[in-house]
Structure 1
Amino acid sequence: MLRIIRHSLCAAAVAGSAAAAAAPMSLQDYLALNGRAPDKHIAYGAAPSQFVELFRPAGKGPFPVVVLIHGGCWTVQFGGITQMRNMASSLAAQGIAVWNVEYRRYDEPGGGYPGMYQDVAAAVDRLKQEAAASQLDLTRVVAVGHSAGGHLAQWAASRHRLPSWSPAWVKDPLAIPQVISLGGLADLRLQAALIKSSCERDTEQLAGKPSAARPDVFLDTSPAEMLPAKIHTVLVHGEHDTVSPISTGEAYARRARAAGDTASVVLLPGGSHYDEVAATSPSWKIVSAEIRKALGL
């Protein structure tokens, strides 16, 4: 019998009454998030959105690494990398390096399929070049993504499963054994209606048009089609998340487990779709604890 592990029971004890008392964060609260400036701005391409921000902890490494991928419904409309600096600042203060990824979204020149996926792949693999100079420990890496970024983080950790015909395929991608999806929308096939209602995105905008050579557009764009990926996935959802409710995480976990992977589901008591990424939210105690656990801290 498939058992979905809900960490809400222990999470409620961690968050305590503060989570119950705090009002769930709104979109406007999310858009107001920010953090300290990054330590490095590193371009991996010529386009304005082809860069990463490195948040490096003080002191001597090697440091464990969070590959952080923002959401925003795959569009430039809802912010993204700036808001992730809030999480990145807190994690860096805890001794964790953060690789904050920007990429071309569907409504930017060259974005969508395949450019968005090629960007994420290039950004993640750029870590290999930076590791020695910035004392980054690539044996301790976790991908963390929010909303649309949850989809891309799960894809990034699974892309060693890409078919060789995919334009995003590369040889020997950076290995990422664990991924934490914060309100993610990662099953592009089964969640197409939810993605449409929550983000007003069509499959074609995210996965491209089918063709004779590529009749199934989900095979190289949806992490659910790349199972088993031999990774552990943690699917985190706010109690009041209406963009990506906990049922989406449960459905993905069932599919991952049926394929032979491991997955767990975490409920954030009192949290919305935006508390998931705010270091100022009571939910952060739970989220940061999951990140630290994934890194063996």
Structure 2
Amino acid sequence: PGEDILLAYCPERVLPGRILAELKENNRIVGGVNEKSALEVKKLYECFVEGEIYTTEATTAEMCKLMENTYRDVNIALANELAMICEKIGVNAWEVIKYANKHPRVNLHMPGPGVGGHCIAVDPWFIVEKQPETAKIINLARHTNDGMPHYVLDKIRELTRDIVGRKKICILGVTYKPNIDDMRESPVIELIGLLKDSGDFETVAVDRHVDYEGSKERDLYGAVSGSHLLVLAVNHREFADVDFARIRNLMAVPRVLDTRNFWDMNRVEAAGLEFNLLGWGRKVNE
């Protein structure tokens, strides 16, 4: 390789839903097994890439890809840890992040029910496997994010502890991020499994983007009927303008848990629903 056959590694940096645009627009790294390979492959990418193209050696390019996703995973873990801390001390983590990010050198990510996808939830493990004794923060971040479905399960238990018998939980969204049809490594799938395995909950999920066995119900209002808790798990755009008054009348217990800070609390509560937010330690009826 590098003489008769030119070989290089060029990590993709594309956002689902904008793949073709970002293949053209984003800056790229070309890592060759030697300089000749890197320069020739750069010429190939210059045929369609409008962003900057940088050349390096192959292993460096591979490590760049892993670290790009690891950076995001660690940052999300920090946000999730902040959310758990804020719940214990009665502070709104989303407000903390909003104002902390006003600092010109701070860029906190957002908490949520976990991390999914085939990149962010996977790539850090390659570094941990290669250097387990050194990659301590990376390893801890992975365990923190992988633990979030369990943390949300505990919140659901807490919010439904006043209900006798089996509780019906309606979950909105099952994909690993909003407005896509990809469920790979989705933390919501794990959450649904945990709820089912507990034996205490009946679950129904709504997600028109995918054909998931647990989301056969395409109608939100049909799914939420008779439920004891509505969980906003994925902030799909179609969930932005739901009829909260109608939801209030359909639910057995008018109570919601927003894990994405997607809904406006005042709008939800004006419809007569109890509003709970992941990362906010506000007491109910406070």
- Shorter-chain TM-score bucket reads 0.3 to 0.5
Between structure 1 and structure 2, the one with the greater Rg is 2
- Bigger relative contact order (CA 8 A; separation at least 6): 1
Q: TM-score of the superposition, structure 2-length normalised? A: 0.34
Name the one with the larger helix percent.
Answer: 2
Name the one with the larger strand percent.
Answer: 1
Q: TM-score of the superposition, structure 1-length normalised? A: 0.33
